[in-house]
A and B are shown apart, each in its own frame.
Chain A
Amino acid sequence: MAQILEDLDRVEAPVTDSPWITLVWNDPVNLMSYVSFVFRSYFGFSHEEADKRMLEVHNDGRAVVATGPREEMERHVEAMHDYGLWATLQKADE
């Protein structure tokens, strides 16, 4: 078992695989009902998941709503801007 773990440690992840995240930021304008609705209708979150992320935005100032390749995160950010939500993307480890 120890041998297997050591071997795995030697496998380096390619730099290009470093994931990106989409962040939605708190703003004083958007209604909680609307933000939750957007998270459900666009990202396909369940009611519970959407409300959890919406409250995270509201209480913590921001929430990660998606993780993946940069191009995909750019599409998400543009879509959030279509809805009037304030979103940005960045590398996950930034």
Chain B
Amino acid sequence: MIPFRATEDGFVEAQFENEEVDLLATLASQVGGLLQGVAAPSDDDPLPGLVIGGSETLPADAALARLLPNAYAEAEASAEFRRLTERGLAGRKQASAQVIVDTASPQTRLDASAALAWMRSLTDMRLVIAARLGIEDDESEVELTDESEAMLAVYDWLGGIQDSLVRAVDR
């Protein structure tokens, strides 16, 4: 990987190995798949992001709960907010993940809108991995197994991409 940098003509560019492109697309698809049950687009929806609807409770799955958190500490207000906004939020996150699937390549070149989608979805990927690893606060220690070590490596790698992207956009 060659980290993101800003170009003279207002884009950001990075280079990835083929295996890295595949990994990014796979992780983005997994995040999209995780959200599918909540987003559940129907033929009646006008546009992604304009969808109104949702459940009333925090998802039981820890990763999904972190992607779609409560808006209030108080349960009733949280349920009402979720009922109106959850599907839309899940759908927008799916759309951002799809931007990574569509634009990740050995020579990745992003405009401002795609760069924002990448930042959001890289964050979502890291939130999902953190939930799977049980990283809940700054003091959390991950029990190291072959699998968790591999996931931690991916988590850190995504963090590196994210940091270079933020700095390139923020230049």
- A90 and B73 form a contact (CB under 8 A): yes
The minimal Cβ–Cβ distance linking A39 to chain B, given in whole angstroms, is 12
Whether B135 pairs with A29 at a CB distance below 8 angstroms is: yes
A33-B166, A34-B166 known; A89-B123 Cβ under 8 A:
no
Q: Is B69 an interface residue (CB 8 A)?
A: yes
Tell me what chain B mostly uses at the interface: helix, strand, loop, or mixed: helix
Question: Once bound together, how far apart are the Cα atoms of A81 and B78, in whole Å?
Answer: 14
Given contacts A28-B140, A78-B71, A78-B89, 19 further A-B contacts (CB under 8 A): A28-B135, A28-B136, A29-B126, A29-B127, A29-B130, A29-B135, A31-B162, A31-B163, A33-B166, A33-B167, A34-B119, A34-B162, A78-B85, A81-B69, A81-B71, A84-B67, A84-B120, A84-B124, A86-B69
Q: Which residues of A does B touch, CB under 8 Å?
A: 26-31, 33-34, 37, 40, 74, 77-78, 81-84, 86-90
Q: Can you spell out 22 A-B residue pairs with CB atoms less than 8 angstroms apart?
A: A26-B137, A28-B136, A28-B137, A29-B127, A29-B135, A31-B162, A31-B163, A31-B166, A33-B170, A74-B81, A77-B71, A78-B89, A81-B68, A82-B89, A82-B93, A83-B123, A84-B67, A84-B120, A84-B124, A88-B69, A88-B73, A89-B71
